[in-house]
Chains A and B, each alone.
Chain A
Amino acid sequence: MQTDLRQEARRQAEICNACRYCEGYCSVFPALHQERFFTDGNLTQLANLCHNCRGCYYACQYTAPHEFDLNLPMALAEVRQDSWESFAWPHPLAQIFQKNGVMIAVATVLGFAVLFLAMRTLGSAGGEGFYAVLSHNAMVAIFLPAFLFPLLSITISLRRYWEGTAGKRITLAHIVGAFGSAANMKNLAGGHGDGCNFEDEDKFSNARRLAHQAVMYGFLLCFAATSAGTILHYAFNMPAPYPLWSFPKLLGVPGGILMVLGTVELARLKLKADRNLGASSAWGGEMGFVLLLFLVALSGLLLYWLGGTQLMPLMLAIHLGSVLSFFLLTPYTKMAHGFYRLAALIRDEQRKAALE
C-alpha cells in the first residue's frame, strides 16, 4: 500500500483525535477516538467505514486555508481506494478499472460484443422467447462462470481485508448490527437525520442517502427477481418470459425503476459535489460504474417493454451484455465498496461489542 497516503491519513486522524468535535456524525469518529496511534489496519478500517458524506469536512475548523489543511473525506477516500486495489484478486486488473471510467466503458462494449457473437454463433437451439435468440444452456454457460468468478474474487479480497484489520470471529449479533446500519444507511444520516453535505457545500440533504437506498434496494429486488426466475425455471419447469403477475416481474420491474431513478440521481449529485473531497483519480471510474448500473436497469426495463417487438433481440443483447460486464467487473469497480463497507460495519460492531 502507498505509504504517503497512509502517512497523510495518519496525520489528519491525529488532529481529529485531539479535536473530537465531529464525534456524532458517523461511525468513523467513535472508532477513531478509540485509538491513540494509528496502524495501517486502523486506517484501512476507518477508510472503509467512511461513507464520504463530508459532514466532517464542512464542520471542520481546520480545512484549507488553515495550515493544518484537513480534508478527512479525501484522505480516507484515497486510502480506501488504495486498500481495494491492494486487496483485489487477481491483483493487476484492479488498478485499471477502479480509476478508469473509460476502461469500464470498454469492458462493457466487450460484454456486448461477446453476447452478440454468442447469439450469432451459438444461437437459439430451438428455444422460445429469449431462448429463441440465445439458448438457455448457452446463457448458463456464459453467466454461471461470470457470476461465480466475482464471488471467488471478492471472497479472497474480503479475507485479506479481515486479516488486515485484525477482524475477529463473526457472530450473528455483529451481522445483525451491520446489516441494520446498511439497511437505513445510518452513516449517511449526518447523526441527526438531516442527511449529508454531499451536493451543495454545507447544506444538509438526504438526497444522496435516498438515491443510494433506491439503487441498493433496486439492485436487491432485481437480484431477487433473477433468483426467482432461476427457481421457477429449474424447480417448476417454468421458463422465461414471465407475465407481469409473477415473482420475477413483480420484483424486477419496481427494482429496475428504483435503480434507474437512483443512478440518475447519484450521477446528478456526483456532478454537483466538490470533487476534491473524494479520491479525485477515482471519479471517472465511479461515474462509469454508476452509468453501467443505470444501463443494466434501463435495458432490463426496455427489454420487458419491447419484449414482444422486433427490437427484442437487440435489447436482449444490450441487457445481457451490460449484466455480463457488471458481474465481471464487480470485484474491480465501485461495486466492491458494498462488500468492503459491510465488512467494515461488521468489524465496527465487533469494536463496539468489545467496549461493553
Chain B
Amino acid sequence: MTNRYDIAVIGGGNAALCAAITAAELGAHVVIFETAPKAYRGGNSRHTRNFRCMHSGPLGPLVEDYLEEEYFEDLLKVTDGKTNERLARLAIRTSEECLPWMEEHGVRFQPSLSGTLSLARTNAFFLGGGKSLVNAYYRTAEKLGIEVLYEANVTHLELDGNRIAHLDYEHEGESKRIAPKAVVVASGGFQADTDWLTRAWGPPAKNFLIRGTPYNRGIVLADLLDQSVQSVGDPTQCHAVAVDGRAPKFDGGIVTRLDCVPFSIVVNKNAERFYDEGEDVWPKRYAIWGRLVANQPDQVGYVIIDSKSLDLFMPSVFPPIKADTLEELAEKMGLPPVQLKDTVETFNAACGDTSKFHPTELDGVKTTGINLPKTNWARPIDAPPFYGYSLKTGVTFTYLGLKVDENAQCSTQDGPITNLWAAGETMAGSILGQGYLAGFGMTIGTVFGRVAGREAANYAN
C-alpha cells in the first residue's frame, strides 16, 4: 500500500477537476480516479452546456445583472422549497467568483447566442459545450502535475472511526490499495445502475433512458451509504425529462430532446391524452414531461403534430414519423388508429379561434369544452402530412447523495469524517431536493468542487 498521494479525487467530471486543480494549486499531490476510458472522460459534464451564475453588472458573456435574491427565488420555484438555504445561498454567492476562475483555468464562453435560448443574463454558455470545458480542465490538471488514472474503478473506501483509512480500486486488471491523506468523492449519481434505479422507482425504471454517462453507477456512493455515511435526498427524485423514444439507452445527451410538445397533442399507447401540452413555455415545463411519461403504460408517450408546426421548434436528431392520414400515422407508430383519430377529432373540435397563435409566448389560444384542456397554442391538428415522435423518460441524474456541510465535508451520525469531502452530483441533493434549474448542476459542481479541493488540501498540508 502506498501513500504517494496526498489527495485522491474519485470521479473525472467538472466537480472532480475543480477539486483536483484547487488542491494541486495549494501544493497537494493529487490523483484522479476516472472510471471511464479517456474518450468518455468527464462524466455528465461532457454533455452539459452552461453555468448559471450570479453577477452584479455585466460579467464575462453575461449581460445586465442577476442577483442573489432572484437566483434564489428561481431555485425555490423549481424545488418547491426543498433546498438547504445556507448551502444554496453559498453556491449562488460563490458562483460569481467562479466565472473568472473558470476562464483563468482555460474555460471559454460563447460570446452571444442566437436561436431560441435567451439566457444571456443568467447562464454562461461554454464555447463548444461541456466536453471542451472538461478538455480545458484536463489540460490544466496535466500542467499542475495531477495524475489521472482512466478506467480506474474505485470499489471501496474503508471508513475507520472518523476517517477514511484507505481506498481500494481496480486498474489495468489488478486490485490495488492506496492510503491518501484525504479523499474527495465527485463520482456523480447512480442513474446508470438500472437495478438500483428499479429498486428506487419500481419496474417502470427499466424503460428509462439515461441521457448522460453510462459510468455513473453509484458504486462509491453505495459503499459509503452502507458504512452509515450520512445521506440526503429522495432516491426517487431525479432530473427526468421526456426524450425521443429512439434515443440510445445511454449517453444520448442534448440532441435527444424534443421541443415540439407545446405545438402538439401528446398521447399514451392507448392514444389518450394525459396532460395539458400547452401549460407553459418550453423549456420551463420541459422537465416535468419525464415524470408524466414515466407514469403512463409502458412508460411511453407519442407526440402528434401536423405540417403547420414542423418548423416551429428546434430540429430533432431523428426525423419524425410521417404519414398522410392519422390512421396511417397510428399504424406506423403502433397506436390504435380509431382511438387516435377519435382523440384528435375531439381535440380539434375543442379548438376555438386560433388567430392569436404565437409560438414563442403564452398566447392563450386554448381549447374549450374538453375535460383535459390545452391552455395555450391549441390549434387543430388537421393539415397533412401528419408527423409523430415517440417519447420516453430520460434520466439525467439522481438526487440521493451524500450530505455535506458548508465545507463540503461528509459526516456520520457521530460527526464529521475528518478526511472525506464530496462535490458535484454526489452531493447535489443537499441543495436540489427536487426539480432542476438549467445550469445549476455546474454551479454546484464548480463551487463545491473548489471548496472540497481547498479543504482537502488544507487538511493534507
Contact = CB atoms under 8 A, between A and B. Distances in A.
A14 B136 CA distance: 27
The 4 A-B residue pairs with the shortest CB-CB distance, nearest first, are A59-B128, A21-B129, A59-B132, A202-B135
Given A21-B129, A68-B255, A202-B139, 20 more contacts: A19-B129, A20-B314, A21-B49, A24-B127, A25-B127, A30-B114, A33-B115, A36-B311, A56-B128, A58-B128, A59-B131, A61-B130, A61-B253, A61-B254, A62-B253, A63-B39, A191-B111, A191-B127, A194-B108, A202-B132
Interface in B120-179: 126-132, 135-136, 139
Given A24-B127, A61-B253, A17 B315 contact: yes
B379 interface: no
Given A63-B39, A66-B251, A194-B108, A22 B129 contact: yes
Contact of A15 (B132, B248, B317): B317
Contact of A65 (B39, B46, B254): B39
B273 interface: no
Interface of B: 39-40, 46-47, 49, 108, 110-111, 113-115, 126-132, 135-136, 139, 248, 251, 253-255, 311, 314-317, 319
A24 B110 contact: yes
A203 B110 CA distance: 18
A59 B45 CA distance: 12
B254 A19 contact: yes
B114 A33 contact: yes
B39 A203 contact: no
Interface string A27-60: 0001001001000000000000000000110111
B314 A61 contact: no
A203 to B, nearest CB: 7
Interface residues of A, number: 33
A19 B48 CA distance: 11
A167 to B, nearest CB: 23
25 contacts: A15-B255, A18-B254, A18-B315, A19-B255, A20-B314, A21-B128, A21-B254, A23-B110, A23-B113, A24-B110, A24-B127, A33-B115, A55-B128, A56-B128, A58-B131, A59-B128, A59-B135, A60-B131, A65-B39, A66-B251, A68-B255, A190-B108, A191-B111, A194-B108, A202-B136
A61 B129 contact: yes
Interface in A45-89: 55-56, 58-68
Contacts of A55: 128, 132
The listed residue with most B CB atoms (<10 A of its CB), out of A20, A66, A192, is A20
For chain A, what secondary structure do more than half of its interface residues adopt (helix, strand, loop), or is it mixed? loop
Contacts of B319: 14
A56 B127 CA distance: 10
Contacts of B111: 24, 191
Contact of B317 (A18, A59, A63, A202): A18
The listed residue with most A CB atoms (<10 A of its CB), out of B47, B132, B316, B319, is B132
Contacts of B108: 190-192, 194
B158 to A, nearest CB: 34
A18 B316 contact: yes
A65 B317 CA distance: 18
Interface string A313-353: 00000000000000000000000000000000000000000
Nearest to A30: B114
B128 A22 contact: yes
Nearest to A194: B108
Contacts of A18: 254-255, 314-317
A58 B46 CA distance: 11
B14 to A, nearest CB: 14
A67 B248 contact: yes
Contacts of B254: 18-19, 21, 61
